[in-house]
Chain A
Amino acid sequence: MKLFLIFISAAIVNNFVLSYFLGICPFVGVSKKLSSAVSMGMAVTFVMTITAAVTWLIYHLILVPFNVVILEYVSFILVIASLVQLVEMFIRKISKPLYDALGIYLPLITTNCAILGLALFAVLRDYGFIESLVYGIGAGVGFTLALVIMAGIREELELANVPRHFQGAGITMIVAGSLALAFMGFAGLISI
């Protein structure tokens, strides 16, 4: 039951994008088309799940026993960078169109704060191994959800008559604000 709560909390109630402001760059950059939003979301979910597992192992089996917790940030970010490289090679191998669609944003997953944020939050909350894993999947699903909703709205916005100065980033922020307002309706549903 606790695992289910962690999942719902990470995916909806404390949505990474809309309430923790993590992963805003891809959220603004890749949300123009529904199809690339879905693939970006999947790539991020994949990386997040692996990251959650690997960083847990590193933190609890290496950093804590050897008393070098001060290296936390450096080691986490290196692991994430190599993982992203791995995923990039994998996607290029299996699907060229997908690779072209994700383009520049794939390497940028490295600097997607949602990934490092996930690792840090999992440590902060003292999650066990399985809990971290579920937290990772939940956060990934939440990220995908926010990205897909946003892409859906922006596809419609193409046809709308947006005031000149708000075009582009401005209106995206306003829409994100409204979405965040909607997601606040879930606040207090679960508290962990």
Chain B
Amino acid sequence: MAKKTPLSREFVKGLWDENPVLISLLGLCPTLAVTNSAINGIAMGLATTFVVVSSSVIIASLRKLIPHQVRIASYIVVIATFVTVADRFLAAFTPEISKALGPYVPLIVVNCLILGRQEAFSSKNNPGRSFLDALGMGTGFLLVLFVLGGIREILGSGTFLNLTVLGDWFAPWMVMILPPGAFLTLGLLIALSNWINERRVNA
């Protein structure tokens, strides 16, 4: 099965065709929760990528040692360990971002995207492939978070990466940085990706 796909494909598929957020609808909680600005989206995306890549490599290396019955618990322990590392790292080097993300950093533990990759991919493939797969998924996740955060920040506060892009004439749409804006923007993005995919098939 997966053995025949070229290595580059393992990486690229996560970016669009099997994008974790837009296509598989995994990891929606952090996607919606932290994207009130582009910078938060990037931080969350990077932290998640770090966790998914590290745990994929570890779990792929141990895949023959982990008994089938307790695999989920074992995966969770590995993931939780790396999340603790990421959490301490953010708190030590970027206290402001750590504060802005709040409890959503520890909540990476239960990001279904990460557990999903372990169950669907790392438990069956060698560490090299798992690394590429996880990197692709993490990057795909990061991109969506960045776009979503960017749109919400521009419309909701008139800034992008904390720089003012829309002048004084613009009255910020408060709703965009509040919870409803997250749902609405993601709904529109999903519809947009459906539209693009359909056009690609027909073209």
Contact (Cβ within 8 A) B182 A21: yes
Q: A22-B29, A124-B103, A173-B190 are in contact. Are A77 and B110 (CB under 8 A)?
A: yes
Q: Which residues of B contact A164 (CB under 8 A)?
A: 194
Stretch at the interface among B4-12, B134-142, B160-168, B173-181: B173-181
1/0 per residue, CB under 8 A from A, across B56-90: the answer is 00000000000000001100110011011001100
Q: How far is the CB of B54 from chain A (nearest CB, A)?
A: 15
Complex: A165 Cα to B182 Cα, angstroms? 19
CB-CB contacts below 8 Å: B146-192 with A: 175, 178-184, 186-188, 190-192
Contact (Cβ within 8 A) B107 A177: no
Contact (Cβ within 8 A) A73 B29: no
Q: Which of A74, A111, A170 contacts B110 (CB 8 A)?
A: A111
Complex: A165 Cα to B177 Cα, angstroms? 25
Complex: A180 Cα to B83 Cα, angstroms? 29
Complex: A171 Cα to B187 Cα, angstroms? 6
Contact (Cβ within 8 A) A173 B186: yes
CB-CB contacts below 8 Å: A30-63 with B: none
Contact (Cβ within 8 A) A25 B107: no
Q: How far is the CB of B193 from chain A (nearest CB, A)?
A: 9
User: B109 contacts the other chain (Cβ, under 8 Å)?
Assistant: yes
Q: Which residues of B contact A170 (CB under 8 A)?
A: 187-188, 190-191, 194
Q: How far is the CB of B122 from chain A (nearest CB, A)?
A: 16
Q: Which residues of B contact A70 (CB under 8 A)?
A: 84, 88
Contact (Cβ within 8 A) B72 A180: no
User: A130 contacts the other chain (Cβ, under 8 Å)?
Assistant: no
User: B93 contacts the other chain (Cβ, under 8 Å)?
Assistant: no
Q: How far is the CB of A190 from chain B (nearest CB, A)?
A: 17
User: A117 contacts the other chain (Cβ, under 8 Å)?
Assistant: yes
Q: Which residues of A contact B187 (CB under 8 A)?
A: 166, 169-174, 176-177
- 8 additional A-B pairs beyond A24-B32, A177-B187, beta carbons within 8 Å, are A70-B88, A73-B80, A77-B109, A77-B110, A78-B73, A82-B73, A117-B107, A176-B183
Q: Which residue numbers of B lie inside 8 Å of A, CB to CB?
A: 25-26, 28-30, 32-33, 72-73, 76-77, 80-81, 83-84, 87-88, 103, 106-107, 109-112, 115, 175, 178-184, 186-188, 190-192, 194-195, 198
Interchain residue pairs A-B with the least CB separation, the first 4: A173-B187, A177-B183, A177-B184, A21-B33
